[in-house]
A and B are shown apart, each in its own frame.
Chain A
Amino acid sequence: MSKINVLMFGWEFPPFKSGGLGTACYDLCKGLSKNNTNVTFVMPFAPEGATAKFVKLVGAHEKIKHLRLRTIKSPLTPYLTSKEYEHYYQHTQSKNKHLYGQNVFDEVARYTAAAAQIAKEETHDIIHCHDWMTYQAGIIARKTSKKPLVVHLHATEFDRTANNPDPRISHIEWLGLKEADTIITNSQFSKNNIIKHYNIPADKINVVHWGIDNEPLPQHPSIPLKEHKTVLFLGRITIQKGPDYFVEVAKRVLDYEPSARFIIAGDGDMLPRILHRTAELGIADKVVFTGMLKGADVHHAFQTANIYVMPSVSEPFGLVALESMKNGTPIIISKQSGASEVITHALKVDFWDVNEMTNKIVSVLRHTALREELTHNTLREIQKFNLEEPARKIKEVYQHPYRGKH
């Protein structure tokens, strides 16, 4: 079989990442490289933020064969809101500032223009882009090269905002989905959502569930908190991830298990509100806020916890659930997640059902047998996930990009 050359518009590479999308892109490239596929990976990159670590960035991608990295100077990140961009623009001291757009949509337009140039320079058989900020780049590349466009949807504006979309963004998403030759989502849950919100024909959408690599994890020799009853939230502190439900549950759990402790690991626009609510509930001394964790600290957090809770309001997949499982930490995940479609050994709840979440968390904290059984089965089940399987399915999509096209 001949090699497929992919022009991919993606996001962030470890260690520069703020969420699952960076990991997902990195993992996908890794999986594809083992599937005899060449990838030219185009990503926004603002060097002033990370000059010292640039070497590491190159190091991360150089580990992968058949991968070329091209960066476009831009401060875009996939979770950036329009407000956050304004804040960045006003406060940055960057000498490149005069190059950047004055708002996030200008900046996306600038990025799109740069992408068109790259599409002319790079030979490719297929275009693959991840989430809304890259969709216009994908569309223009498709016009330039006449190659099929794969639009990969990791989260919609509806997911990110708990159904209060910015119409400018949802319009771009709709445009991307409409122009795409084929679409990839990470779950049936997500597929149903885009059919509902964007009226896209079902047979244009491929479901490819996510995986996780099998490389061994760093183990932390001393886990000081494990002796406490520790409950972990790890993710962006935004409305999509349900941190507000988590603190309400924390209060209820403490009513029954006063010795429980809670860790909230992450950063995001809802952090002040969550901090405030914690104080209001009178549980501030039981909740630790770590800020955003990276690298080994993430694993450390999982290994510290007795249980990881993912109360997402709308979660197209929820890669972090797999990370918890890999660390041997039992999980409680919302039924409104793609992960809950493919994970058997998890406790599952509706995100709004704080009482049921409390019921389950308290049971896990009270009963060693339940914890041990969950841990045992979690570690067994995680072995069925890998990166090769999703990559293989995506390669199949590349080979038949027009299937289901009307």
Chain B
Amino acid sequence: MTNICLYFQVHQPFRLRKYTLFEIGKHADYFDQKKNQEVMQKVAKKCYIPANRIVSELIHRHEDFKASYSISGTALEQFKQYAPEVLESFKELAETGSIEFLNETSHHSLSFLHDKEEFREQVRQHHKTIKQEFGQKPTVFRNTELIYNNELAKEAENMGYKAVLAEGWDGALGWRSPNYIYQPAGCKNIKLLLKNYRLSDDIAFRFSNKHWSGWPLTAEKYANWLAPILGDTINLFMDYETFGEHQWSDTGIFNFLKHLPAALKQHNISFHTPSELAKVAPKETLDIPNTISWADIERDTTAWLGNKMQQAAAKKVYELKKNISKKQLDTWRKLTTSDHFYYMCTKWFNDGDVHKYFNPYDTPYDAFITYMNILQDFEMQLKKQQGVFSKFTKLLRPIEVNA
């Protein structure tokens, strides 16, 4: 018998407008406001609002019910702009005391892989935002797309976090179980919480698959699967959009969520939050030198940085940070969001599967072309600004000489 830990990821990127060659140097209107609003309001209606309502009911009905969320800074900003009622309902959840908020990078970026200083800044910014919005100081860190290695753990430990999340991937775990608390190699104060991807994916990916042997999945059946499992915790980590957006309401996903706590109670399975688990003594040290993530079968970073377009685009955007002004920082950060690179992924393009569903572009090439046009404009804006600055200093110089 064990306990479970629920963590839901909430994220929306600032999608880009179709920005053509002819607009470079003309204007800095990069983001597709209409599309972002549309998506946000659609997902709010299908997922965030009804799912929050159920979670709220569960908190009131089951006193042991707990869950955790990581909400990206870009999603929070879009709530404010396009769906303030969603932010309100999250605040209400925060007030119950049963919900924990995790820390991530403010812009759901890959900065950890490109620029450590930028990474720290984005983490700090997100920490501040969570405190502002929900009155909590997060103590557990999760990196974008669960991108993880020993170095990330060390980084999070140095920043004072008590635990960090990662994919419980066999390639990294070997014979070990993801259902225990570990200590990242080279760390003393931070714990590692591993996603049980099989049981998580039963809900997130397989729930509505009629060809799956587990279909139809009921809360009772699922609780029966969990009951005999040994360990400290079963970590069920998934996108919050699983509820109502990836798995539509008519699949019965909301009913499943609604009935889960009662079904678990039958087996005396209770809920923990990540920060509670951080207090558990680690089973052993876990060495994960190579970078892993929770994406695709490869569990690596190739969904965002696997091809030459993605690598070139990432290299370019991080190069631009050097000359950036404070005013441009937020725009630039919105360009670091991992989704922009995900849209350029050609790995699965042939089969047109999952990646395609979440992609606003016809092809990964179109994603690259639009992104690079925007970077060219952004770079021009930077140069223009420097130009203004140097003109200004040139004007000053003769005055100094005369004085």
Contacts and interface: CB of A to CB of B under 8 A. Distances in A.
A4 interface: no
A381 B20 contact: no
Contacts of B21: 256, 358-359, 362-363
Contact of A369 (B309, B350, B366): B309
Interface stretch (A89-97, A315-323, A370-378): A370-378
Contacts of B307: 373
A355 B308 contact: no
Which of A345, A348, A356, A359 has most chain B Cβ within 10 Å? A359
Contacts of B312: 367-369
Interface in B331-372: 346, 349-350, 352, 362-363, 365-366, 368-369, 372
B323 to A, nearest CB: 21
A61 interface: no
B368 to A, nearest CB: 6
A369 to B, nearest CB: 4
B320 to A, nearest CB: 16
A344 B369 contact: no
A356 B308 contact: no
Nearest to A358: B21
A242 B150 CA distance: 57
Nearest to A362: B21
Contacts of A355: 20, 22
A366 B21 CA distance: 11
B311 interface: yes
A359 B309 contact: no
B22 A347 contact: no
Contact of B363 (A347, A358, A363, A381): A347
A348 to B, nearest CB: 7
Nearest to B312: A369
Interface residues of A, number: 23
B129 interface: no
A56 interface: no
Interface string A34-63: 000000000000000000000000000000
A360 interface: yes
B365 A369 contact: no
A359 B308 CA distance: 20
A377 B308 CA distance: 11
Interface in B15-56: 20-22
Contacts of A348: 362-363
B365 A359 contact: no
B373 interface: yes
Contacts of B349: 344-345, 377
B21 to A, nearest CB: 4
Tell me what chain A mostly uses at the interface: helix, strand, loop, or mixed.
helix
Contacts of A373: 307-309, 346, 365, 368
Interface in A342-358: 344-345, 347-348, 355-356, 358
B350 A374 contact: no
Nearest to B350: A344
Tell me what chain B mostly uses at the interface: helix, strand, loop, or mixed.
helix
Given A344-B349, A359-B21, A359-B22, A367 B365 contact: no
B311 A369 contact: yes
Contacts of B309: 367, 369-370, 373
A357 to B, nearest CB: 11
Contacts of A362: 21
Nearest to A384: B350
Contact of B369 (A256, A359, A376): A359
A367 B350 CA distance: 22
A360 B365 CA distance: 9
Nearest to B21: A359
Nearest to A366: B372
Interface string B305-325: 001110111000000000000
Interface in B64-84: none
B368 A370 contact: yes
A367 B368 contact: yes
Contacts of B352: 344
Interface in A364-394: 366-370, 372-374, 376-377, 381
Nearest to A367: B372
A344 B363 CA distance: 8
B312 to A, nearest CB: 4
Nearest to A374: B365
Which of A256, A344, A363 has most chain B Cβ within 10 Å? A363
Contacts of A370: 309, 365, 368-369, 372
Interface string A248-268: 000000001000000000000
B81 to A, nearest CB: 29
Which of B20, B308, B313 has most chain A Cβ within 10 Å? B308
Contact of A356 (B20, B311, B363, B368): B20
A378 to B, nearest CB: 11
A256 B312 CA distance: 21
A173 B10 CA distance: 59
A377 B346 contact: yes
16 contacts: A344-B349, A344-B350, A345-B346, A347-B363, A355-B20, A363-B21, A363-B368, A363-B369, A363-B372, A367-B312, A367-B368, A369-B308, A370-B368, A373-B368, A376-B308, A377-B349
Interface of A: 256, 344-345, 347-348, 355-356, 358-360, 362-363, 366-370, 372-374, 376-377, 381
6 A-B pairs closest in CB distance: A369-B312, A369-B308, A363-B369, A359-B21, A359-B20, A373-B308
Given A369-B309, A370-B372, A372-B308, 4 more contacts: A345-B349, A348-B363, A373-B368, A377-B349
